[in-house]
Chains A and B, each alone.
Chain A
Amino acid sequence: MKNLLKVLITLSFIGSSLIASNSIKAMKIPGNVSDIGPTSKAWLSTSYQDVIVYPQTTIKLNDLDANAMNADNSAKKLRVKAITDGKNISFLIKWKDESKSIQEGYSTTSYGDGFAVQFPTSYKDSKKLPYIGMGSVGRSVVVHLQKATGFTYEPNGNNDVYHQVNENNQNAFHEDIQKYRIKVKETAISDYQRVFISEGFRSMTQIKDGSESSKMQMVYKNGYWKGSLSLPLKSSYLNLNKGAFPIAFAIWDGDKKNRDGLKLLSSWIGVKVVGKSGGEKLIDLLNEKSKGDVNNGEKLALENCAACHRYKNVNMAPDFMAPNLSNIGGYSTKEYLMESIVEPSAVVVAGYNRNAHKNFTWYDVDEKGIRTSTMPSYEWLDEKSRNDLVVYLQSLKAEVK
């Protein structure tokens, strides 16, 4: 019996690494999808695909209270739909969140729920997709972000300083102060929707010139958020007008002080546009099931990785020495893991500010700003070992609860 249990556990361990993310099917529908919200009837024509998002644990942020609240985060299941009209594409994302959190009011400790959808600007080489954490140098991504906020204001909005001055500093009373308040309110922004271009964590920069148009919305009902994103298949940064393209999702729980890196994120997921040819190779790669000896991989990780990386219960390495791998299997593709083992400088995770933990620099920077990882290449491992290691790394991820 004991032996059988062991076999079963081993099998399920291998099994878990075999479960590959299935691709999302984008159905073509008649009409225009550029302007549909999460409650549109258009969504009825297609069914949900599950996408798992995992807690970001590569780096640890420095908010004590937030870290305590998120220490035991489990993975979460998102349900995703996609439809296209041939010119635009829309995504519907539904996830459970017991607490509706909106960043609002006169508070320094209020955080909003939110979601983001990430696309690579190029996926020609499907083996070298951008790093999942907001891209990497030479492999940029576009991130569409929607957060649940109340009214916010632009700093120096339209250079109208007068209407930013506190009303107590105005020489206005009675009706005049009422008028002033109305004027101030008119300058408010009610929708916190932003688009970013990014070549890696830290480099994310807002696209403000309107060249990347999209429409995002989020509505809360019965303990679930539903968020939608509509965007053109082709824009100045993105070309999604192919048979298939990669996509990634992230969600934030404001109630747990989630923001920035405190989030749950998915790996790259394939979107297959139904009825459009091409992209099979990409879909196959993203769905590829890794096979190998996970126990040997674990042994190899202990021998080769654990001196610098922390993961799961293996915490021999000093904190901040290298990216924490506890959820690496959740948000990495097989190709990325393989590339990082063989060629660590191909994607250098920008991680912490270099001043924050100066004894543990993850990379060196030359005078041209080019980053070289301090990790040596493990090309010398034979192919089987490398593969086993990847299979083990893919098994490192939190469970869905």
Chain B
Amino acid sequence: MSQRQLAMVMDLNKCIGCQTCTVSCKTQWTNRNGREYMYWNNVETYPGVGYPKKWQELGGGFDSAGDLQPGRVPSIEGNYGVPWDYNHDELASGAEFKPNIEPTWGPNWDEDEGAGDFPQDNYFFYIPRICNHCTNPGCLSACPRDAIFKRDQDGVVLVDLDRCQGYRYCIAGCPYKKIYFNPKISKSEKCILCFPRVEQGLPPACAQQCVGRIRFVGFLDDEEGQVHKLVHKYKVALPLRSDKGTEPNVYYVPPTEAPPKFDAHGKIIEGSNRIPTEELEKLFGSEVHQAIKTVKTEMQKRKDTGKSELMDLLIAYNHEDMFRLDSGYYKEYAKKHSLTPKKLLDERYSAGKNSNTMKFFMPSNAKGGDS
């Protein structure tokens, strides 16, 4: 258990599957040797096999008694897909454009396929996935070298590459398969929740770059924060596959809004929803029913009265409100533990429970001066 927990909320109603988050993570971190196949952040289509292929069936996590479950280590050929490239260099000399290997599988191979029959009831939605920085991480429990640790200050789960010997039991232990083996350095690597950015007042790259503004970042115990409100106050953001017992800290607002189904004559079936709630229940547990209800009720409330705090949150007006990184807390923590506090690169997202910050931009309706 860490002192506090930094968490992320993703609103699946707004994810358009553009992979900007994936690309931002790729260019920020995973463009190094051996990380070609790694997607610390990926966006997969549901229903679909996901990345790595069939990750939900590869074991790991805990059973109800709290025992770590055995799992499988996915292979690049079978589960991730061998990364390929094209012969751009040779095109100038008249060569045929071709991949260096015959691609047979890769991330998003089944993108947008979904399930159901077109046009009656076909459907799909996107799930962006990063490391869940679990409160009870399966990877940490599986490591025989105690090379994985959960940071005390914010609960970020990290691999100590000095201790890691590349045994890969962590991969078997993670039910989300969000820890990867780097074959070039023979060590395991994973999403670091951009902690070097967070410590300097910048939100994780995937969250800042998100064009749909679906990602909220903040401390779970920060009652003023939008993350806290979505997870604890309105309970509309739910952890993914919480039945795996790792207590994940990335929360999802389930996709509540989908077009209605068509009948055999192509007519709209009023009141129907293409996304079966049973499917959402598989991912987010039985709490999903209440979450959907709350979102729907608040939406109606907004229509009727024009007011709804939840709708305002989900509209995501300002990055400053969506990202509350509590820089004052990091500064205090560093002082207390004789670490060097990081200089802030950006002060816009530094608000939080332990931080007194000034707003950079005045709201447009605010009056200047004391006239």
- Interfacial residues, chain A to chain B (CB-CB below 8 A): 61-65, 67, 103, 105-110, 149, 152-155, 161, 164-166, 168-169, 173-174, 177, 184, 192, 201-206, 259-261, 319-320, 352-353, 355-359
Q: B34: CB under 8 A from chain A?
A: yes
Instruction: Name which of A65, A165, A173, A192 has the most chain B CB atoms within 10 A of its CB.
Output: A65
Residue of B nearest to A260 (CB): B167
**Are A155 and B71 in contact, with the CB atoms below 8 A?**
no
Say yes or no: B67 contacts A259, CB within 8 Å. no
B19 interface residue per 8 A CB criterion: no
Are A204 and B145 in contact, CB atoms less than 8 angstroms apart?
yes
Shortest C-beta distance, B251 to chain A (Å), equals: 22
Q: Per a CB cutoff under 8 Å, which of A105, A108, A165 touches B33?
A: A165
CB-CB contacts below 8 Å: B130-187 with A? 136, 140-146, 161-163, 165-169, 171-173, 180-187
| Listed residue (B36, B59, B76, B169) with the most chain A CB atoms within 10 angstroms of its CB | B169
Nearest A-chain residue to B62, judged by Cβ = A356
Specify which of B27, B59, B144, B187 is in contact with A155 (CB 8 Å cutoff).
Answer: B187
Query: In the bound complex, do residue B67 and residue A320 qualify as a contact, i.e. CB atoms below 8 Å apart?
Result: yes
Q: Are B72 and A63 in contact (CB under 8 A)?
A: yes
**Nearest CB of chain B from residue A164's CB, rounded to whole Å:** 5
Complex contact B31–A260 (CB within 8 A) = no
With contacts A108-B75, A166-B32 taken as known, whether A149 is within 8 angstroms of B68 at the C-beta atoms is: no
Interface residues of B in 38-78 (CB under 8 A from A): 59-60, 65-77
A114 CB, nearest partner CB in chain B, Å: 11
* A71→B173 CA distance, assembly (Å): 19
When distances are taken between beta carbons in the complex, the residues of chain B under 8 Å from A166 are 31-33, 35-36
- Contacts A/B (CB < 8 Å), 22 sampled: A62-B69, A63-B73, A65-B73, A67-B70, A103-B186, A106-B36, A106-B37, A106-B183, A107-B77, A109-B75, A149-B186, A152-B185, A153-B33, A153-B34, A166-B32, A204-B145, A205-B163, A352-B68, A353-B143, A353-B144, A356-B68, A358-B66
Contacts of B187 on A, CB cut-off 8 Å?
155
Chain A residue at minimum C-beta to C-beta distance from B144: A260
The answer to whether B68 and A62 have CB atoms under 8 Å apart is: yes
Q: Report the separation of the CA atoms of residues A174 and B90 in the bound assembly, to the nearest whole angstrom.
A: 10
A62-B173, A108-B183, A155-B187 known; A184-B33 Cβ under 8 A:
yes
Closest CB in chain B relative to A158 CB, distance in Å: 13
Q: Please indicate the chain A residues that have their CB under 8 angstroms from the CB of B37 in the complex.
A: 106
Say yes or no: B186 contacts A359, CB within 8 Å: no
Query: How many A-B Cβ pairs are below 8 Å?
Result: 128
CB–CB A168/B85 < 8 A:
yes
Q: How far is the CA of A201 from the CA of B165 in the complex (A)?
A: 13
The 6 lowest CB-CB distance pairs between A and B, nearest first, are A356-B68, A356-B141, A108-B181, A260-B167, A109-B75, A64-B70
Cα distance, A396 to B182, chains bound together (Å): 39
Interface of A is mostly: loop
Residues of A within 8 Å of B76, CB to CB, are 106-109
- Does the CB pair A359–B67 fall under 8 Å? yes
Chain B residue nearest to A170 (CB atoms) is B31
B82 interface residue (CB < 8 Å to A): yes
| A153 to B140 alpha-carbon distance, docked (Å) | 24
Tell yes or no: B312 within 8 A of A by CB. Answer: no
Chain B interface helix/strand/loop/mixed: loop
The reply to whether A108 and B32 form a contact with Cβ atoms under 8 Å apart is no
Contacts of A205 in B (CB 8 A): 163
Distance in angstroms from A176 CB to nearest chain B CB is: 11
| Chain A residue nearest in CB terms to B186 | A152
Contacts of B33 in A (CB 8 A): 153, 164-166, 184
Instruction: Say whether A64 contacts B172, CB under 8 Å.
Output: yes
In the complex, A149→B75 CA distance in Å?
18
Residues from chain A with Cβ under 8 Å of B68 in the complex: 62, 352-353, 355-357
* B284 interface contact, C-beta 8 A: no
Contact partner, B144, options A64, A184, A201, Cβ 8 Å:
A201
Establish whether residues B72 and A165, one from each chain, have CB atoms under 8 Å apart when the complex forms.
no
Q: How far is the CA of A110 from the CA of B183 in the complex (A)?
A: 9
Q: In the complex, what distance in Å separates the CA atom of A359 from the CA atom of B173? A: 18
Contact A261 B144 (CB under 8 A): yes
The answer to whether B184 touches A153 (Cβ under 8 A) is yes
Output the least CB separation between B16 and chain A (Å).
26
On chain A, the residues within 8 Å of B162 by CB distance are: 206
What is the CB-to-nearest-CB distance from A109 to chain B, in angstroms, rounded to a whole number?
4
Given A259-B168, A353-B140, output 18 extra A-B contacts at Cβ < 8 Å.
A62-B71, A63-B70, A64-B59, A108-B171, A109-B75, A152-B184, A152-B185, A164-B32, A166-B32, A169-B31, A204-B145, A259-B166, A260-B144, A319-B67, A320-B67, A353-B143, A353-B146, A355-B68
Residues of A near B136 (CB, < 8 A) are 355
B235 CB, nearest partner CB in chain A, Å: 27
Shortest C-beta distance, A131 to chain B (Å), equals 15
Instruction: Decide if B126 is an interface residue (CB 8 Å cutoff).
Output: no
- With A63-B72, A357-B67 known to touch, is A108 a contact of B146 (CB < 8 Å)? no
- CB of B169 within 8 A of CB of A61, answer yes
Give the residue name and chain of the B residue nearest to A257 (CB): B73
Would you call B89 an interface residue if the criterion is a C-beta within 8 Å of the partner chain's C-beta atoms?
yes
Interface presence of B80 (CB below 8 A): yes
The CA-CA distance from A353 to B173 in the complex, in Å, is: 12
